[in-house]
A and B are shown apart, each in its own frame.
Chain A
Amino acid sequence: MLFAVTALSFLLLNLLPGDPTIAILGPAAGNSAAHDQLRKELHLDQSVPQRYVHWLGRALHGDLGESYSTNQSVASAIGQRLPLTLELVILAELLALAIAIPLGVFAARRPNGWFDRLTGTSTFALLALPSFMLGVLLVYLFAVKWHIFPATGTGTWFHIGNGVVGTPGSLTLPIITLAAGQLAVFGRLLRTEMVATLRSDFILASRSKGIPQWRILFFHALRPSSFTLLTVLGITAAGLVGGSIIVEQLFALPGMGSLLVESILKRDYLVVQGCVVLISAAFVLFNFFVDLVYAVLDPRIRYGTVSA
């Protein structure tokens, strides 16, 4: 699967129209010697499968090629940028879950009650507020209006944290921005599932045994309700990666996302390729782990009685 995805993204990038050498050298360098030499350097004179095998062989040794504009190796460029993005994405996901789970559970306690309707409306609104809007809104409120988070006084609020990346203050807004979209999806989903679970007989049985409400909600009903959430966790991680590209760009955070955008703007072919392939690989791995967690949560999968 991992190979399939890297091969697919490699193929995709290579089958697209447009010659990266023209992008690098400019259209004037049509058939010049420099053009031919660059094609050789990038192995563009070989066929696509040949290039893939070549690239994969080197990639397995940790060599993703060199950046055309900085001559830095792609692997080390990504290595520098990756930790920040990971921190951002993981913290955002945790924050989203930490808020969405109690929200979904309490909303499901009384379907159509005031809390349910309130969370329903606000998550609906959040869904229509993509990260590039929410981020700008948060910057306006917290940095420009209320000065809660630092904004340099020159009119550019870009250097939040003054280049000191990873300080809590500088990552707060990006994490909230990133978490909000996930939160809305998770909360709505969990609520729907919980409402269904709470109607089942074993909940009625627990109630009749006099088990306290909170215990039923969080110990009895939450686990069987969490499977769809888990699936969606895997799927929406895609949105999270996209969101982190936006957020890093918005808050000028030097992570993978901004590396990708910078490389696209600089037409740095190999860096873009490395980023895209790495992201897709990370994605497959993440979904694989989600499958493992399924088995932990649902014994029926472990014993093979459910064909998942």
Chain B
Amino acid sequence: MALFQPDEATGVDRDPEAAADAEVVISAGARTSRTDHGKPVRTGARLDIVFWLSVLWVAAVLFSALFANVLHLQPTDTPSGPPSAGPSWAHPFGTDNIGLDLFSLCVHGARMATIIALSTAALGIVVGGLSGLVAGFYHGVIEQVLMWVTDVMLAFPALVFALAVVSFAGASLTTVVITIAVLGIPGFARVGRALTLSHSQRPFVMASQAMGARKSRTMFREVLPNVIVPVATYAALAAALAIIAEGALAFLGLSAPDVVDWGAMINQGKDQLYQAPQAAFAPMLVMFLTIVSLNFLGERLGAVLDPRQGQL
């Protein structure tokens, strides 16, 4: 049953690592299940139009973040139109109750979201992914300690942690970014460990060890390439969570000050629901689409790369 073509299924450019993943992908592509009526239904992942729309949206957010300053947009600190105006050509999202252009604010807000998403992904993949890899590959005390730390961190209310840190260390851009990125690490460690465990008994890993390769070499040369791509996929989900967490902080007025921020915009907009509901709804829509897109990317790519993910 040729349900599967590697390039279409993964949607990523061919690179040496992608070839190593082919085996995992095959099992994903061949996944079918039966309904109550015994009719086989294909539940394997497809990269459909919604997936590409998500890619497009995330690309647009990245573009906004990079070029917000270069684009000729309305100023974000001085009113540029009539207060509480609805959408128009000059102000696509309308204006808030003092006449600030909401479209421009949303575009500038993409920067904060991007910083948070990228730093969470980077720190998560490097620190979380690596500790998960080590924990899954070297069993024993290392694994137990790492997983205990992970469990405690996962169990502790993240927002309370973030609030505590921000209140004691002060709400600056650096504190907020680091706090949120650190909160993302345990999730990566979990995913990394689970993937490592599933690969560490595979024939090619055993072959490497049988040929006398050092443990660390086996781990980095054989296991890591197979683990890194699914972990990077998880980064999309983690980035969405990070954006939500930062949004919550900003909504409480406790994120980085003096930064254009979607969460802070929603916070200000909630007091203008009578005069200018668009002041709350514009950032909400933008943030919602970003989170949905990231979730969708993560889920679809996860399902394509690893048959066990993406079912939840």
Interface, chain A (partner B; CB < 8 A): 5, 8-9, 12-13, 16-18, 20, 109-113, 124-125, 127-133, 136-137, 139-140, 144, 155-157, 188-189, 192, 198, 234-235, 238-239, 241-242, 245-246, 249-250, 260-261, 263-265, 267, 272, 275-276, 279-280, 283, 287
Contact = CB atoms under 8 A, between A and B. Distances in A.
B169 A264 contact: no
Given A111-B33, A136-B269, A136-B284, A280 B156 contact: yes
A128 B295 contact: yes
Nearest to B244: A130
A144 B163 contact: no
B179 to A, nearest CB: 10
Contact of B169 (A9, A16, A263, A276): A16
Given A128-B291, A128-B295, A13 B164 contact: yes
Contact of A264 (B166, B244, B284): B166
Contacts of A137: 284
| A interface: dominant SS | helix
- Closest 6 A-B residue pairs measured CB to CB? A242-B159, A264-B167, A128-B291, A238-B157, A132-B251, A16-B168
A192 B33 CA distance: 13
A132 B160 contact: no
Interface stretch (B13-21, B113-121, B122-130, B272-280): B272-280
Interface string B51-93: 0000000000000000000000000000000000000000000
Nearest to A193: B312
Contact of A238 (B156, B288, B312): B156
B271 to A, nearest CB: 7
Contacts of A16: 165, 168-169
Nearest to B148: A4
Contact of A112 (B35, B154, B277, B288): B35
B184 to A, nearest CB: 14
Contacts of B281: 140
A250 B252 CA distance: 9
A245 B168 contact: no
B152 interface: yes
B300 to A, nearest CB: 12
Contacts of A275: 160
B248 A130 contact: yes
| B interface: dominant SS | helix
Given A17-B169, A272-B164, A276-B164, A157 B291 contact: no
Contact of A241 (B159, B251, B271, B275): B159
B168 A20 contact: yes
B154 A139 contact: no
Nearest to A14: B168
B277 A140 contact: yes
B161 to A, nearest CB: 8
A197 to B, nearest CB: 13
A287 B158 CA distance: 16
A191 to B, nearest CB: 9
Nearest to A158: B271
A157 B277 CA distance: 13
B273 A157 contact: yes
Contact of B312 (A17, A111, A131, A189): A189
A158 to B, nearest CB: 9
A55 B268 CA distance: 39
Given A192-B312, A245-B163, 18 more contacts: A8-B152, A110-B35, A124-B292, A129-B288, A130-B247, A132-B247, A136-B269, A155-B274, A156-B271, A234-B155, A238-B155, A242-B159, A245-B159, A246-B248, A260-B160, A264-B167, A283-B155, A287-B155
A11 B133 CA distance: 28
Contact of A139 (B254, B273, B284, B311): B273
Q: Which one of B43, B160, B244, B281 has the highest number of Cβ atoms from chain A below 10 Å of its Cβ?
A: B160
B181 interface: no
B207 to A, nearest CB: 32
Contacts of A242: 157-160, 248
Nearest to A267: B167
A272 B166 CA distance: 11
Contacts of A136: 266, 269-270, 273, 280, 284
B155 A139 contact: no
B69 to A, nearest CB: 27
A265 B169 CA distance: 13
Given A13-B164, A136-B270, A242-B248, A192 B311 contact: yes
A132 B250 CA distance: 10
A279 B160 contact: yes
A304 to B, nearest CB: 21
Given A133-B266, A246-B248, A128 B292 contact: yes
A245 B252 contact: yes
A125 B285 CA distance: 12
A109 B169 CA distance: 51
